Amino acid sequence: MDYEKIFKEIYVDLAKIEDTGQVSNYIPELSKVDPNSFGVQLTTIHGEKYAYGDSNVRFSIQSIAKVFSYVLAYSRIKSDLWHRVGVEPSGTAFNSLVQLENDLGIPRNPFINAGAIVICDILVSELDSPKEDMLTFVRELSGVDSINFNKRVAESERMNGFRNFALVNFMKSFGNILNDIDEVMDLYFHICSIEMSCEELSKSFLFLANNGVVPYSNNRILSPSRTKRANALMQTCGFYDEAGQFTFKVGLPGKSGIGGGIVAVHPEKYCITVWSPRLNPKGNSYKGMLFLEEFTTHTKLSIF
Protein backbone atom coordinates (compact mmCIF):
# COMPACT_ATOMS: atom_id res chain seq x y z
CA MET A 1 0.00 0.00 0.00
CA ASP A 2 1.25 3.48 -0.83
CA TYR A 3 0.94 4.90 2.68
CA GLU A 4 2.66 8.20 1.92
CA LYS A 5 0.13 8.92 -0.83
CA ILE A 6 -2.70 8.03 1.56
CA PHE A 7 -1.23 10.31 4.24
CA LYS A 8 -1.10 13.19 1.80
CA GLU A 9 -4.67 12.63 0.61
CA ILE A 10 -6.00 12.54 4.16
CA TYR A 11 -3.98 15.63 5.10
CA VAL A 12 -5.40 17.56 2.14
CA ASP A 13 -8.92 16.38 2.98
CA LEU A 14 -8.61 17.44 6.60
CA ALA A 15 -7.20 20.84 5.64
CA LYS A 16 -10.74 21.67 4.46
CA ILE A 17 -12.06 21.20 8.00
CA GLU A 18 -11.59 24.04 10.44
CA ASP A 19 -9.41 22.95 13.35
CA THR A 20 -11.45 23.98 16.36
CA GLY A 21 -8.90 22.59 18.79
CA GLN A 22 -6.79 24.62 21.21
CA VAL A 23 -3.10 24.17 21.98
CA SER A 24 -2.65 23.11 25.59
CA ASN A 25 -1.90 25.97 27.92
CA TYR A 26 -1.76 23.74 31.00
CA ILE A 27 1.80 24.97 31.39
CA PRO A 28 3.23 28.04 29.62
CA GLU A 29 6.04 26.03 27.99
CA LEU A 30 3.58 23.89 25.98
CA SER A 31 1.75 26.86 24.47
CA LYS A 32 4.94 27.92 22.64
CA VAL A 33 4.55 25.18 19.99
CA ASP A 34 3.57 26.08 16.39
CA PRO A 35 -0.15 25.16 16.40
CA ASN A 36 -0.08 24.26 12.70
CA SER A 37 2.62 21.61 13.03
CA PHE A 38 1.58 18.27 11.61
CA GLY A 39 3.52 15.03 11.34
CA VAL A 40 2.80 11.34 10.85
CA GLN A 41 4.95 8.24 10.72
CA LEU A 42 4.04 4.59 10.24
CA THR A 43 6.62 1.89 10.93
CA THR A 44 5.96 -1.79 10.28
CA ILE A 45 7.34 -4.67 12.33
CA HIS A 46 9.37 -5.57 9.22
CA GLY A 47 11.11 -2.18 9.29
CA GLU A 48 9.32 -0.32 6.48
CA LYS A 49 8.85 3.38 7.27
CA TYR A 50 6.38 5.87 5.84
CA ALA A 51 6.32 9.53 6.80
CA TYR A 52 4.55 12.79 6.06
CA GLY A 53 5.00 16.38 7.27
CA ASP A 54 6.88 17.18 10.49
CA SER A 55 7.55 13.54 11.29
CA ASN A 56 11.11 14.35 12.44
CA VAL A 57 10.29 17.28 14.69
CA ARG A 58 10.42 16.51 18.40
CA PHE A 59 7.52 17.53 20.60
CA SER A 60 6.51 17.08 24.24
CA ILE A 61 5.18 13.54 24.47
CA GLN A 62 3.47 14.19 27.83
CA SER A 63 1.10 11.35 28.76
CA ILE A 64 2.32 9.08 25.97
CA ALA A 65 5.28 8.53 28.29
CA LYS A 66 2.92 6.87 30.77
CA VAL A 67 3.09 3.77 28.57
CA PHE A 68 6.90 3.70 28.88
CA SER A 69 6.82 4.08 32.67
CA TYR A 70 4.11 1.46 33.03
CA VAL A 71 5.98 -1.03 30.82
CA LEU A 72 9.24 -0.39 32.68
CA ALA A 73 7.54 -1.03 36.03
CA TYR A 74 5.63 -4.04 34.71
CA SER A 75 8.77 -5.59 33.24
CA ARG A 76 10.88 -5.06 36.37
CA ILE A 77 8.78 -5.66 39.46
CA LYS A 78 8.28 -9.10 40.85
CA SER A 79 5.37 -8.19 43.11
CA ASP A 80 1.79 -7.75 42.00
CA LEU A 81 1.15 -4.28 40.58
CA TRP A 82 -2.58 -4.63 40.55
CA HIS A 83 -3.32 -4.04 44.20
CA ARG A 84 -1.84 -0.53 43.78
CA VAL A 85 -3.55 0.46 40.51
CA GLY A 86 -6.61 -0.84 38.60
CA VAL A 87 -7.31 -1.79 34.99
CA GLU A 88 -10.66 -0.08 34.40
CA PRO A 89 -11.34 2.93 32.17
CA SER A 90 -11.87 5.94 34.40
CA GLY A 91 -14.58 7.75 32.45
CA THR A 92 -13.30 10.93 34.09
CA ALA A 93 -10.70 13.53 33.10
CA PHE A 94 -7.03 12.55 33.21
CA ASN A 95 -6.35 14.64 36.30
CA SER A 96 -9.61 14.00 38.15
CA LEU A 97 -9.65 13.77 41.95
CA VAL A 98 -13.25 12.72 42.47
CA GLN A 99 -12.99 8.96 41.90
CA LEU A 100 -9.96 8.53 44.13
CA GLU A 101 -11.90 9.09 47.33
CA ASN A 102 -14.49 6.41 46.57
CA ASP A 103 -11.74 4.08 45.33
CA LEU A 104 -9.72 4.54 48.55
CA GLY A 105 -6.69 6.00 46.83
CA ILE A 106 -6.35 3.24 44.20
CA PRO A 107 -6.33 4.87 40.73
CA ARG A 108 -8.52 3.27 38.08
CA ASN A 109 -5.64 2.61 35.66
CA PRO A 110 -1.94 3.41 35.04
CA PHE A 111 -2.66 5.96 32.28
CA ILE A 112 -4.55 8.58 34.24
CA ASN A 113 -2.32 10.97 36.18
CA ALA A 114 -3.00 9.34 39.56
CA GLY A 115 -2.14 5.90 38.16
CA ALA A 116 1.03 7.13 36.50
CA ILE A 117 2.07 8.76 39.78
CA VAL A 118 1.69 5.40 41.58
CA ILE A 119 3.81 3.82 38.83
CA CYS A 120 6.46 6.50 39.49
CA ASP A 121 6.35 5.63 43.19
CA ILE A 122 6.99 1.98 42.27
CA LEU A 123 9.88 2.97 39.98
CA VAL A 124 11.42 5.10 42.75
CA SER A 125 11.28 2.02 45.03
CA GLU A 126 12.63 -0.39 42.40
CA LEU A 127 15.32 1.52 40.50
CA ASP A 128 18.68 2.92 41.61
CA SER A 129 18.50 6.00 39.36
CA PRO A 130 14.88 6.23 38.20
CA LYS A 131 15.25 9.23 35.87
CA GLU A 132 18.39 7.92 34.17
CA ASP A 133 16.98 4.38 34.00
CA MET A 134 13.82 5.73 32.40
CA LEU A 135 15.82 7.60 29.75
CA THR A 136 18.01 4.56 29.11
CA PHE A 137 14.87 2.47 28.60
CA VAL A 138 13.35 4.90 26.09
CA ARG A 139 16.68 5.26 24.28
CA GLU A 140 16.95 1.49 24.01
CA LEU A 141 13.41 1.16 22.65
CA SER A 142 13.94 3.89 20.07
CA GLY A 143 17.59 3.20 19.28
CA VAL A 144 18.18 6.97 19.62
CA ASP A 145 20.66 8.14 22.27
CA SER A 146 19.83 11.83 22.09
CA ILE A 147 16.27 11.48 23.46
CA ASN A 148 16.04 13.57 26.61
CA PHE A 149 13.91 15.40 29.15
CA ASN A 150 13.14 19.04 28.55
CA LYS A 151 14.22 20.60 31.84
CA ARG A 152 12.22 23.78 31.26
CA VAL A 153 9.04 21.77 30.72
CA ALA A 154 9.73 19.61 33.80
CA GLU A 155 10.27 22.73 35.91
CA SER A 156 7.15 24.37 34.50
CA GLU A 157 5.19 21.20 35.34
CA ARG A 158 6.49 21.35 38.91
CA MET A 159 5.69 25.05 39.33
CA ASN A 160 2.14 24.57 38.01
CA GLY A 161 1.43 21.03 39.17
CA PHE A 162 -0.99 21.92 41.97
CA ARG A 163 -3.53 19.31 40.93
CA ASN A 164 -0.91 16.59 40.51
CA PHE A 165 0.43 17.43 43.98
CA ALA A 166 -3.12 17.18 45.28
CA LEU A 167 -3.43 13.70 43.72
CA VAL A 168 -0.16 12.44 45.21
CA ASN A 169 -0.94 13.83 48.67
CA PHE A 170 -4.41 12.32 48.58
CA MET A 171 -3.04 8.90 47.64
CA LYS A 172 -0.34 9.16 50.32
CA SER A 173 -3.10 9.69 52.89
CA PHE A 174 -4.50 6.31 51.81
CA GLY A 175 -1.06 4.66 52.06
CA ASN A 176 -0.71 4.16 48.29
CA ILE A 177 2.46 6.29 47.95
CA LEU A 178 5.45 4.86 49.80
CA ASN A 179 8.25 7.27 48.92
CA ASP A 180 8.97 10.94 49.45
CA ILE A 181 6.40 12.98 47.50
CA ASP A 182 8.93 15.38 45.97
CA GLU A 183 11.07 12.51 44.70
CA VAL A 184 8.05 10.77 43.12
CA MET A 185 6.81 13.98 41.50
CA ASP A 186 10.27 14.89 40.22
CA LEU A 187 10.26 11.61 38.29
CA TYR A 188 6.66 12.11 37.13
CA PHE A 189 7.29 15.65 35.83
CA HIS A 190 10.47 14.60 34.06
CA ILE A 191 8.73 11.67 32.37
CA CYS A 192 6.02 14.06 31.08
CA SER A 193 8.73 16.34 29.66
CA ILE A 194 10.37 13.77 27.34
CA GLU A 195 10.59 15.03 23.76
CA MET A 196 10.42 12.70 20.76
CA SER A 197 9.42 12.84 17.11
CA CYS A 198 6.71 10.82 15.37
CA GLU A 199 9.46 8.72 13.82
CA GLU A 200 11.09 7.97 17.17
CA LEU A 201 7.78 7.22 18.87
CA SER A 202 6.50 4.87 16.22
CA LYS A 203 9.77 2.95 16.36
CA SER A 204 9.73 2.81 20.17
CA PHE A 205 6.23 1.36 20.39
CA LEU A 206 6.90 -1.37 17.82
CA PHE A 207 7.55 -4.02 20.46
CA LEU A 208 3.86 -3.75 21.38
CA ALA A 209 2.99 -4.72 17.80
CA ASN A 210 5.54 -7.52 17.87
CA ASN A 211 4.51 -9.67 20.85
CA GLY A 212 6.84 -7.81 23.23
CA VAL A 213 10.06 -8.02 21.19
CA VAL A 214 11.81 -4.98 19.69
CA PRO A 215 11.95 -6.09 16.05
CA TYR A 216 15.25 -4.50 15.08
CA SER A 217 17.25 -5.56 18.18
CA ASN A 218 15.42 -8.79 19.09
CA ASN A 219 15.34 -7.55 22.67
CA ARG A 220 12.36 -8.95 24.61
CA ILE A 221 10.66 -6.23 26.69
CA LEU A 222 7.46 -8.01 27.78
CA SER A 223 6.16 -11.57 27.55
CA PRO A 224 3.40 -12.11 24.94
CA SER A 225 0.79 -12.24 27.69
CA ARG A 226 1.97 -8.97 29.27
CA THR A 227 2.09 -7.39 25.81
CA LYS A 228 -1.52 -8.40 25.31
CA ARG A 229 -2.37 -6.70 28.58
CA ALA A 230 -0.47 -3.52 27.75
CA ASN A 231 -2.34 -3.25 24.43
CA ALA A 232 -5.64 -3.99 26.16
CA LEU A 233 -5.02 -1.19 28.64
CA MET A 234 -4.18 1.24 25.85
CA GLN A 235 -7.37 0.22 24.08
CA THR A 236 -9.59 0.78 27.10
CA CYS A 237 -7.76 3.57 28.94
CA GLY A 238 -5.43 5.35 26.50
CA PHE A 239 -7.55 8.40 25.66
CA TYR A 240 -8.75 9.85 28.94
CA ASP A 241 -12.54 9.86 28.96
CA GLU A 242 -12.60 9.51 25.18
CA ALA A 243 -11.26 5.95 25.02
CA GLY A 244 -14.63 4.70 23.78
CA GLN A 245 -14.69 7.28 20.97
CA PHE A 246 -11.18 6.38 19.86
CA THR A 247 -12.02 2.69 19.81
CA PHE A 248 -15.27 3.39 17.98
CA LYS A 249 -13.72 5.63 15.35
CA VAL A 250 -10.16 4.38 14.95
CA GLY A 251 -10.21 0.85 16.32
CA LEU A 252 -6.62 0.53 17.51
CA PRO A 253 -4.97 0.44 20.94
CA GLY A 254 -3.15 3.71 21.52
CA LYS A 255 -2.15 6.54 23.80
CA SER A 256 -2.41 10.28 23.50
CA GLY A 257 -0.74 13.20 25.25
CA ILE A 258 -1.60 16.86 25.71
CA GLY A 259 1.40 17.78 23.54
CA GLY A 260 -0.86 16.73 20.63
CA GLY A 261 0.72 13.35 19.92
CA ILE A 262 -1.11 10.05 19.45
CA VAL A 263 0.55 6.65 19.11
CA ALA A 264 -1.52 3.69 17.90
CA VAL A 265 -0.53 0.06 17.49
CA HIS A 266 -1.82 -2.65 15.19
CA PRO A 267 -0.62 -5.93 16.75
CA GLU A 268 1.35 -8.09 14.29
CA LYS A 269 1.51 -5.22 11.80
CA TYR A 270 2.56 -1.65 12.51
CA CYS A 271 2.72 1.35 14.77
CA ILE A 272 1.56 4.79 13.66
CA THR A 273 2.20 8.14 15.35
CA VAL A 274 0.51 11.39 14.49
CA TRP A 275 1.20 14.86 15.92
CA SER A 276 -1.03 17.89 15.64
CA PRO A 277 -0.92 20.19 18.69
CA ARG A 278 -4.45 21.60 18.78
CA LEU A 279 -6.52 19.57 21.25
CA ASN A 280 -10.23 18.83 21.46
CA PRO A 281 -12.05 19.55 24.75
CA LYS A 282 -11.11 16.10 26.12
CA GLY A 283 -7.39 16.81 25.67
CA ASN A 284 -6.81 14.65 22.58
CA SER A 285 -5.37 15.98 19.32
CA TYR A 286 -8.32 17.24 17.26
CA LYS A 287 -6.90 16.53 13.82
CA GLY A 288 -4.85 13.58 15.06
CA MET A 289 -8.03 11.73 15.98
CA LEU A 290 -9.67 12.60 12.64
CA PHE A 291 -6.54 11.61 10.73
CA LEU A 292 -6.37 8.17 12.31
CA GLU A 293 -10.08 7.63 11.81
CA GLU A 294 -9.69 8.37 8.10
CA PHE A 295 -6.57 6.23 7.93
CA THR A 296 -8.04 3.04 9.41
CA THR A 297 -11.29 3.52 7.50
CA HIS A 298 -9.48 4.04 4.20
CA THR A 299 -6.98 1.21 4.61
CA LYS A 300 -9.26 -1.14 6.61
CA LEU A 301 -6.30 -1.57 8.94
CA SER A 302 -8.01 -1.46 12.30
CA ILE A 303 -8.15 -4.46 14.63
CA PHE A 304 -11.93 -4.68 14.37
Residue 173: CB minimum distance to ligand GLU, A: 20
Nearer to ligand GLU, 89 or 283 (CB): 283
Nearer to ligand GLU, 106 or 258 (CB): 258
The secondary structure of 163-201 as a DSSP string is HHHHHHHHHHHTT---S-HHHHHHHHHHHHTEEE-HHHH
Residue 295 and residue 4: Cα distance in Å, rounded?
A: 11
Query: CA of 22: how far to CAs of 14, 25, 67, 175, 293, in Å?
Result: 16, 8, 24, 37, 20
The one among 44, 63, 176, 276 contacting ligand GLU by CB under 6 A: 63
Residue 8: CB minimum distance to ligand GLU, A: 28
- Could you count the other beta carbons within 10 Å of the beta carbon of residue 151? 10
First to last CA, the chain: 19
Residue 63 and residue 244: Cα distance in Å, rounded?
A: 18
Map the footprint of ligand GLU across residues 155-174, applying CB under 6 A: 157, 164
Query: CA of 303: how far to CAs of 206, 262, 264, 275, in Å?
Result: 16, 17, 11, 22
Please report whether residue 43 would count as binding ligand GLU according to CB under 6 A. no
- Assign 113 to helix, strand or coil: helix
CA 179 to chain centre: 24
Please report whether residue 257 would count as binding ligand GLU according to CB under 6 A. yes
Map the footprint of ligand GLU across residues 76-95, applying CB under 6 A: 94-95
Where are any strands of DSSP class E within 45-181?
Answer: 49-53, 59-60, 148-149
**What x/- string results for residues 181 through 220 when contact with ligand GLU is judged by CB under 6 A?**
-----------x----------------------------
Nearer to ligand GLU, 89 or 257 (CB): 257
Map the footprint of ligand GLU across residues 92-121, applying CB under 6 A: 94-95, 113
Nearer to ligand GLU, 166 or 301 (CB): 166
Residue 249: CB minimum distance to ligand GLU, A: 19
Applying CB under 6 A, the residues found at the interface with ligand GLU are 62-63, 94-95, 113, 157, 164, 192, 257-258, 283
